[in-house]
């Protein structure tokens, strides 16, 4: 598999590379580097992302690219590397987080930190979220350096820590050292992918905004007792179950945001004729009960059209034979951009309406931010789509999960979520799941697509 990236020589020639430029990273080198990166356990908590930062720092150093490693608290770091351009245009940031979520080892068929290459797939925690993207962003910087390309923008690699838990890394950067990235015009981060249906690329999703996490704690209090003598009055568990049943049956209102409207309009080109008409005017389309039922039956489409409520954690007595004094639940609420969290909390309390049950927010609320659906970077992505997958469409997308783009946009950066991988539903569901993996084909094709986009927007 030792061959250079397809089309790399053409890219370098078009970018004005000189004859003495070094060859780009070979495919087998790229795969081996990804395997090495996946072997670094940065499960969060505790993270220990300093080890991943050293991995990138040393790799950049070997290529003559200066990298800055900032350990903002012990064991946790920000890693920045900058490839200077002419300064004719503002910088482009390639952003990624170096931590990954925990694994349930008994349910994996391979070592989740073994970087196993098997049947055309590379397995490992972070293969999808988002170590592969971080690795490819570093590869872009290195290939640009090797080519000697003359770019109008600085290209900046940014690796952060703690995205999966409290986002302390990006918060520290924004609050303490915004100068490190302030002034950049664009940022590419995780988010949208190339959505496929039975292997056929359909939609290049480019995330321009995201929903806002608004996690809640629901607490019921009662009197304790012995499990052998159950009672109905003043029973914390029974009160909690009644409250959660009301919450679970509550249907939040449908709200079509401008981003959701644009997303459906883009997808109309691929939809069957009857559905296409509804997608082109989704506000009116949802008035049709059949269309409404079909759209809302899709969890992804449902989630971009309403505030969602998911009951995710339950806690009662410390052992089986105790009726507890307190029973608790945790609820994952995701609010649409522009929603008022205080008003939503008031509505949740009204819906629950159970004596002895309280509802309180968990953690600070982060309001949504948004980037324009039309920009030079989005147009560069669309040009790559037209060349690679002309039968697909580009769609501005609202992510249902939070990303660090939300924080970095506050610095005046136009941040977009796009990862150049062709993924169908089952493969996407491996993110945060068991046997997380990415195909070698996606790695190599993704490297070419990402480099093409960066060269296009930075020229």
One fold for 8-211+368-458 and 212-361: no
Residue 363: the pLDDT is 87
Residue 20: the pLDDT is 58
Copy the structure tokens of residue 181: 């990235």
Phi, psi of 386 (to 5 degrees): -60, -30
The alpha helices in 250-401, defined as continuous H runs, are 258-267, 273-280, 282-285, 289-296, 299-303, 341-352, 376-388
Instruction: Kindly report, residue by residue over 432-456, the tens digit of the pLDDT.
Output: 999 999 999 999 999 999 999 999 9
Q: Supply the pTM of this predicted model.
A: 0.90
Classify 212-361 by CATH class: alpha beta
Homologous superfamily in CATH for domain 8-211+368-458: Zn peptidases (3.40.630.10)
Ordered by start, the domain boundaries in the chain are 8-211+368-458, 212-361
Residue 153: the pLDDT is 98
φ/ψ region of 185 (left if φ > 0, alpha if ψ in -120 to 50, else beta) reads alpha
Residue 364: the pLDDT is 87
Instruction: Kindly report, residue by residue over 299-347, the tens digit of the pLDDT.
Output: 999 999 999 999 999 999 999 999 999 999 999 999 999 999 999 999 9
Residue 274: the pLDDT is 85
Copy the structure tokens of residue 60: 């950049």
Query: Residue 192: enclosing H or E segment and its boundaries?
Result: strand 186-197
Mean pLDDT by 10 residues, the chain (459 residues): 43 45 96 98 98 98 97 98 98 98 98 98 98 98 97 98 96 98 97 94 97 96 97 97 98 96 96 94 97 95 97 97 98 96 98 97 92 97 98 96 95 98 95 97 98 98
- CA–CA gap between residue 9 and residue 6 (Å, rounded): 8
Give the sign of the dihedral formed by CA 196, CA 201, CA 203, CA 208: positive
Angle between helices 341-352 and 236-249 in degrees, nearest 10: 120
DSSP 98-138: --B----GGG-SS-TTS--EETTEEE-TTTTTTHHHHHHHH
Is residue 187 within 8 Å of residue 80, measured between CB atoms? no
């Amino acid at each position: 598999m030792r061959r250079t990236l397809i089309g790399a020589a053409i890219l370098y020639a078009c970018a004005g590379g000189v004859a003495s430029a070094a060859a780009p990273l070979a495919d087998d080198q790229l795969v081996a580097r990804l395997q090495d990166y996946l072997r670094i356990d940065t499960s969060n908590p505790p993270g220990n992302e300093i080890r991943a930062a050293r991995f990138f720092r040393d790799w950049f150093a070997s290529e003559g690219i200066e990298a800055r490693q900032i350990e903002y608290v012990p064991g946790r770091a920000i890693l920045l590397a900058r490839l200077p351009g002419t300064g004719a245009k503002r910088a482009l940031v390639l952003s990624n987080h170096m931590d990954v979520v925990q694994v349930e080892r008994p349910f994996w068929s391979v070592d989740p930190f073994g970087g196993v290459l098997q049947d055309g797939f590379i397995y490992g925690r972070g293969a999808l979220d988002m170590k592969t993207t971080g690795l490819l962003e570093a590869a872009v910087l290195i290939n640009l350096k090797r080519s000697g390309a003359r770019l109008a923008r600085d290209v900046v690699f940014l690796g952060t820590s703690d995205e999966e838990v409290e986002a302390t890394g990006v918060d520290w950067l924004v609050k303490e050292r915004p100068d490190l990235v302030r002034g950049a015009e664009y940022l590419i981060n995780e988010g949208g992918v190339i959505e496929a249906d039975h292997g056929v690329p359909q939609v290049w999703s480019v995330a321009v905004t995201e929903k806002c996490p608004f996690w809640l704690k629901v607490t019921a209090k009662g009197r304790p007792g012995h499990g052998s003598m159950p009672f109905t009055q003043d029973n914390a568990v029974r009160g909690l179950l009644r409250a959660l049943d009301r919450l679970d049956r509550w249907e939040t209102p449908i709200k079509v945001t401008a981003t959701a409207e644009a997303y459906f309009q883009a997808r109309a080109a691929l939809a069957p004729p009857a559905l296409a008409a509804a997608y082109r005017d989704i506000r009116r389309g949802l008035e049709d009960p059949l269309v409404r039922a079909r759209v809302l039956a899709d969890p992804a489409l449902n989630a971009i059209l309403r505030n969602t409520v998911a009951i995710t954690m339950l806690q009662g007595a410390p052992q089986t034979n105790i009726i507890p004094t307190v029973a608790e639940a945790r609820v994952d609420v995701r609010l649409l951009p522009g929603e008022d969290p205080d008003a939503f909390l008031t509505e949740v309390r009204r819906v629950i309406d159970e004596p002895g049950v309280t509802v309180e927010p968990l953690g600070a609320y982060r309001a949504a931010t948004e980037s324009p659906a039309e920009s030079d970077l989005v147009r560069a992505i669309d040009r790559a789509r037209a060349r690679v997958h002309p039968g697909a469409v580009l769609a501005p997308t609202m992510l249902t999960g939070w990303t660090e783009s939300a924080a970095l946009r506050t610095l005046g950066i136009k941040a977009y979520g796009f990862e150049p991988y062709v993924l169908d539903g089952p493969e996407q569901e491996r993110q945060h799941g068991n046997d997380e993996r990415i195909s070698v084909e996606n790695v190599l094709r993704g490297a070419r697509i990402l480099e093409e986009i960066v060269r296009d927007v930075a020229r």
